[in-house]
Structures are given as structure tokens and as C-alpha cells.
Amino acid sequence: MKHDSPSLLAALTVGVLINVLLRSQSAYWPRAGVATALVCVPALAAAGCLFAYAWKQGRSPLLRLLFAVLLFYTSALELLHFWNLAQRLYPGTLSMTAVCLMTLLPVIYLRRVSAISQTAHVVLCLLGLATVFMLLTVLPQLQLTNLQNVPLQISDFTAAAKEQLTLYPEYLLPALWPQKEKKPRHPLLRLAFLAIGFDVGVHFLLELFYGAAMPTRIDPVHAVARCGALSVFNRLESLQLILWVMAITLKLALYLYAICLLLDREGTRGTSVRLEHFPLYFAGIWMLCALLRRIDVQEAMQMRSILTWGFALLVGMGGVAAWMCRKIRRCS
């Protein structure tokens, strides 16, 4: 069973962790983040679990199509987000077409679920090693005196909760995976805990480095990394870029696999993406990125989260309606 349907939890974990590392602006103070995490972690896990249950109860062709469109739109936003970051850090070096080719072409290798799972474990290890190495290089510059002692306001907790309650598609995708005889216990709770815990940890590192200036910094994680004496961002720029591309490619491969499951008319649960789907997917993503290249990606990402919450609510309402209809039919 494991060979036929390997676990994609590592791929989902990479998807949510890379969102933290590629974020362009620090959003909240870590003290507020620790407090709101106690509520946001179970809230995100519960939202994913309820969505999965409702999806099995009330899924329909229209909902499947809407979910596929949401994933396709998210794929374009991920590419645009990465391209904008590359433009700020490496001005004039990467065009949008080059970014699309770098990230989309390797997706062909990840057409099988087993390849996605294996690559996800490799990328997860590399992300962990790169993060630890970055921390060691800037450790002498982290000052405890930079921790802020000012009283937190309601707005601080609100900002932290708003940021942590971003509903990424990774929390909804497990509803599509084939059922397994043995699966990890509480996978969505683990995923939410790792994502928000890593997010709070990164914000704590930024506060130790910047102090009160943290909220005003642009691309704070990358600025911190470049200040290290042996920073991987200074000495190993090409490897850092390759790691980013691998992580984004993994996210796109995961989304493509989910889109194919959603649009499969026969309703089969295949473990690979057919090769004939790639030209249409590549051309569609490139055209959508070209149309959206001038939008504000940060605002689009926030709107995407609102749309994802709205879609989850719509599926939940559909699941409740389908459950009630079955109850009424049984009673009658």
C-alpha cells in the first residue's frame, strides 16, 4: 500500500515551510505569535479535517472544477511571488519566462507520486540544513537586548492571528488523497504545528537580529542571511537559488497532481500525471503569469487566502446539505 500510495505529508510540509522563508515582510511580534498559535494551530487543523469530511459528503463536479481553478490560480501566484523576490534580490538576472522554465520543466520528473514523496524528503532535509547553517552564521549578531519589552496591544495579536490563519491549499489537499489502511495520526495537526512553529521561530530570530526595526525591513530573512560571516546567501548563492526552485517545483507538482485528480472524469485514483497534460498546464501557467505580472502579489496572496476560506466554507455547507438529504431519505 505504501508503494502504491506513498505519503505526501513531507511534500505538504515543504509547501508550508517555503512560504515562511519566501515571505517578503515580517508581519507580527513573536510574543503575540506564541499566544495566537495556541488557537491558530488547532483552528487550521480543524478546518482541514472538516473540509476533508465535507468533501467526501458533498463533492460535486462544480466543486471539483472550482478547486482545480483555485489550485491553478495558486500555482501562478507562487511563480509570480518567486519571480518578484528574485527581481528584488537579483535585479535584471531572471525574466518571468526563465523562472517559469526553471520551475515548470522539472515538474515532468515529478509526474509520479513516488517521485514527489522522495524528492520532498530530500528538499525537507536541505531546507533544515540550510536553516541551521544560516542560524549558525548569524549567531554572534543575535542580541538578547533586541527583544522588545513594550506591552502588546490588541492590534499585535490581531496581526499575528491574521497571518497565522492564512489557509494554504496544502491544508485542503489531503481530502483528495486515496484512503490508506495505515496513515499518520493527526497529520493536519502536525502540519499546522510545524508551519506556525517555524513561522514564530523565524520571527523570533528576526527580532533578536533587528530589534524594534524588524517591522520596517524588506525581505528580512534574506537580509539576515547575507549578514553572516559564512552566509550561504553570500557564498553559495547558486545553491540557495536551486533549493528555492526545487521547493517551488515540488509545490507545483503537488498542485498539478491534485488538479488531475479533480478533473479526472472517470474518478480513478491514479498515482501519476499523464504526459499529455503537461503542455496544456505549462502553456496555461505561463499565459496566466503574463496576464498577472503587474498585480500586487502580496495583496493577491491575501485575497487567495480569503478565497480559500470561502471555498472551504462552501464545501462545508455542501457537505452538511448532502448529509441532511441522506438522513431525510433514510427516514422516509
pLDDT, residue 330, reads: 73
pLDDT, residue 231, reads: 54
Distance (Å, whole) CA 192 – CA 188:
6
pLDDT, residue 3, reads: 44
pLDDT, residue 73, reads: 94
- Contact between residue 257 and residue 273 where contact means Cβ atoms under 8 Å apart: yes
Phi, psi of 52 (to 5 degrees): -60, -40
Q: How many CB atoms lie within 10 A of CB 125?
A: 11
- Contact between residue 308 and residue 149 where contact means Cβ atoms under 8 Å apart: no
pLDDT, residue 161, reads: 92
**Amino acid identity, position 290:** A
Packing angle between helix 113-138 and helix 187-210, nearest 10 degrees?
30
- Contact between residue 301 and residue 81 where contact means Cβ atoms under 8 Å apart: yes
Ramachandran area for residue 267 (φ above 0: left; ψ -120 to 50: alpha; else beta):
left
Distance (Å, whole) CA 163 – CA 172:
18
In a 3-state reduction of DSSP, which class is residue 312? helix
Local confidence pLDDT in tens for the 332 residues of the chain = 344 456 788 899 998 988 888 776 677 888 999 999 999 999 999 999 999 888 887 668 888 999 999 999 999 999 999 888 888 877 877 788 888 888 888 888 888 888 898 999 999 998 888 888 778 877 888 888 888 888 888 988 998 999 899 999 999 999 888 765 456 667 889 999 999 999 999 889 888 888 888 877 777 877 777 776 555 555 556 677 788 888 999 999 999 999 988 887 654 466 778 887 888 889 999 999 999 988 888 889 889 999 999 999 998 888 877 777 777 777 76
pLDDT, residue 181, reads: 47
Q: What is the DSSP letter of 172?
A: T
Determine if the pTM surpasses 0.95.
Answer: no
* HEC assignment per residue over the chain: CCCCCCCCHHHHHHHHHHHHHCCCECCCCHHHHHHHHHHHHHHHHHHHHHHHHHHHHHCCHHHHHHHHHHHHHHHHHHHHHHHHHHHHHCCCCCCHHHHHHHHHHHHHHHHEHHHHHHHHHHHHHHHHHHHHHHHHHHHHHCCHHHCCCCCCCHHHHHHHHHHHCCCCHHHCHHHHCCCCCCCCCCHHHHHHHHHHHHHHHHHHHHHHHHHHHHHHCECHHHHHHHCCCCCHHHHCHHHHHHHHHHHHHHHHHHHHHHHHHHHCCCCCCCCECCCCHHHHHHHHHHHHHHHHCCCCHHHHHHHHHHHHHHHHHHHHHHHHHHHHHHHHHHHC
pLDDT, residue 332, reads: 63
Grid cell of 2 as nine digits: 505504501
Grid cell of 31 as nine digits: 510574543
